[in-house]
């Protein structure tokens, strides 16, 4: 192993906390399609270099191709939606909405992996999370159609992300995490380039320094290390437990957006976030209460 599971958890928490703000910054000057396409293209280059440097084998049997397909479609679908939605919602909200991913993941896990049952306690957690989402919708600020569409896009991104995570876990148990990352990006990058050419295609005349830094940061840490650590955790740990990372990232992302981007956090957003996180705790309570001791 190249790392421990706790180190991978810490890395993903750090990256997911900073990613929403970096997504917004990376779209300045060139638009969201250029931002996501440049990020993923650079991320693929970094990933291929890492595969070569660490001499990681990339299997191409049917199961591996299925895992790469699941990862690639998940990356393309989820990232396209979240980049579009990030134009219309505060960066901190993105992490809050992604906080619902463990709840969605548990549904897909029950259907596809038979990892867990959706008993009364888990359903109660799901409902509490949905109440928190409704509070953010109703009390998060002045109603605005673009904001509502942005929230809807990020929510759909969460569903795509959760479905892809469970699909990858189902197919990639024996695959190196870096191979899954590379295989997924090999599929996703051509789709991003094609989308950019069809719907934009204009090369930005000048990118602000903050946008350039954010694109490189997201390519190296978000697309390479973030995906690598994430798929590593999916291979080593139950999918729903991996997404408990989102218990931490909504709060840290909200604070970063407030401190670094001047985003106003309404009381309703904090209240809705607290309800979502409470729903996550209720949803996973049986996992904590019967977790075996490890040495």
Task: Say which residue the tokens 């309800």 belong to.
Answer: 275
Q: What is the DSSP letter of 248?
A: T
Task: Say which residue the tokens 């019967």 belong to.
Answer: 290
Task: Say which residue the tokens 């998060």 belong to.
Answer: 140
Q: What is the DSSP letter of 243?
A: G
> Exposed e or buried b for every residue in 242-279, given b needs 16+ CB within 10 A?
bbbbbbbbbbbbbebbeeeeebebeeebbebbebbbeb
Look at residue 6 and tell me whether its pLDDT is greater than 90: no
The mean pLDDT of 71-100, rounded to a whole number, is: 93
The mean pLDDT of 67-87, rounded to a whole number, is: 96
For the chain, the average pLDDT equals 88
The mean pLDDT of 269-290, rounded to a whole number, is: 80
Q: State residue 228's pLDDT score.
A: 84
Longest CA span, the chain: 57
Residue 294's pLDDT band, with cuts at 50, 70 and 90, is very low
Q: Which residues lie closer than 8 Å to 54 by C-beta, 6 or more apart?
A: 2, 178
Q: What are 147-185's pLDDT values in tens digits?
A: 889 999 999 999 999 999 899 888 866 888 899 999 999
Cα separation, 110 vs 75, whole angstroms: 22
Q: State residue 295's pLDDT score.
A: 41
Distance spanning both ends of the chain, measured CA to CA: 18
Look at residue 252 and tell me whether its pLDDT is greater than 80: yes
Q: Cα 29–252–91 angle (5° rounding)?
A: 30
> Which two three-digit tokens encode residue 126?
């799901």
Q: Cα 200–202–206 angle (5° rounding)?
A: 130
> Which two three-digit tokens encode residue 261?
């981007």
How many helices (H) and strands (E) in the chain? Answer: 14, 0
Q: What are 88-116's pLDDT values in tens digits?
A: 999 989 988 888 888 888 888 888 887 66
> Which two three-digit tokens encode residue 288?
């904590």
């Amino acid at each position: 192993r190249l790392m421990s599971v706790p180190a991978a958890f810490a890395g993903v928490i750090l990256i997911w906390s900073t990613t929403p703000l970096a997504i917004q910054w990376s779209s300045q000057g060139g638009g969201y399609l250029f931002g996501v396409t440049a990020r993923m293209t650079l991320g693929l280059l970094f990933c291929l270099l890492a595969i070569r440097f660490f001499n990681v084998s990339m299997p191409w049997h049917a199961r591996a191709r299925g895992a790469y397909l699941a990862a690639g479609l998940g990356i393309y679908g989820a990232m396209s939606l979240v980049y579009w939605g990030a134009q219309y919602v505060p960066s901190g909200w993105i992490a809050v909405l992604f906080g619902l991913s463990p709840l969605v993941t548990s549904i897909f896990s029950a259907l596809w992996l038979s990892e867990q049952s959706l008993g009364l306690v888990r359903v109660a957690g799901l409902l509490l999370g949905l109440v928190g989402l409704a509070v953010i919708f109703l009390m998060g600020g002045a109603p605005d159609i673009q904001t509502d569409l942005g929230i809807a896009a990020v929510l759909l991104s969460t569903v795509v992300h959760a479905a892809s995570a469970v699909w990858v876990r189902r197919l990639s148990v024996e695959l190196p995490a870096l191979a899954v990352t590379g295989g997924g990006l090999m599929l996703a990058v051509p789709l991003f380039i094609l989308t950019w050419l069809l719907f934009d295609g204009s090369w930005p005349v000048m990118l602000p320094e903050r946008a350039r830094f954010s694109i490189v940061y997201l390519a190296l840490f978000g697309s390479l290390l973030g995906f690598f650590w994430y798929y590593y955790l999916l291979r080593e740990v139950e999918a729903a437990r991996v997404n408990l990372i989102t218990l931490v990232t909504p709060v840290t992302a909200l604070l970063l957006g407030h401190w670094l981007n001047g985003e106003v956090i309404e009381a309703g957003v904090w209240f809705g976030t607290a309800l979502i996180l409470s729903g996550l705790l209720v949803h996973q309570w049986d996992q904590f209460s019967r977790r075996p001791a490890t040495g």
